[in-house]
Structure 1
């Protein structure tokens, strides 16, 4: 066997799968509008296992890239508007997982 035939299966980033599950529960509890992909929380939940696995795989391998953010204009009290960015549900799960890891949350 040549060295080129060996495949390394170690991920560069240690992200417990349980962390993504806990992050998902927090994002789902917050509800929120769909992002640029128009996928709602309930639509994401319909394929939850594969979606969380794909997200975990991308994050732990270093190949995760967030989608663009949907912009919504929110009216202000003075009659003007301010922009609000809405990430996709998957990106919100990723953000929550990173927040939990950085905060040292026990899962």
Structure 2
């Protein structure tokens, strides 16, 4: 979505319903779906307002540490 394509109310409700249907995990701001629902209209309006004005620059992904398996290089033949 670019800044010229402002989200509309159906888009915002669809995104909310999708988040709720998959368990509503807390996002980068750690706000739960229950906290969002406490004042749903006002909260969705605030998010929509930031998105439509182009002032919302949230990180692309949530930072999560993970372990990498160390793989030994294959022996070379001479």
Kept in 2, the 8 Å contact 1:44–1:51? The answer is yes
Q: How many aligned residue pairs are there? A: 66
TM-score, structure 2 length as denominator? 0.63
Structure 1 gaps, min length 5: 1-10, 75-80, 83-107
Asked which structure has the greater CA Rg, the reply is: 2
C-alpha spacing 1:30/1:69, structure 2 compared with 1 (3 Å): same
2:6 matched residue in structure 1: 14
Between Structure 1 and Structure 2, the one with more helix by share is 1
Deviations 1:48-103 (A, max 9, x none): 111111111111121111158543345xxxxxx26xxxxxxxxxxxxxxxxxxxxx
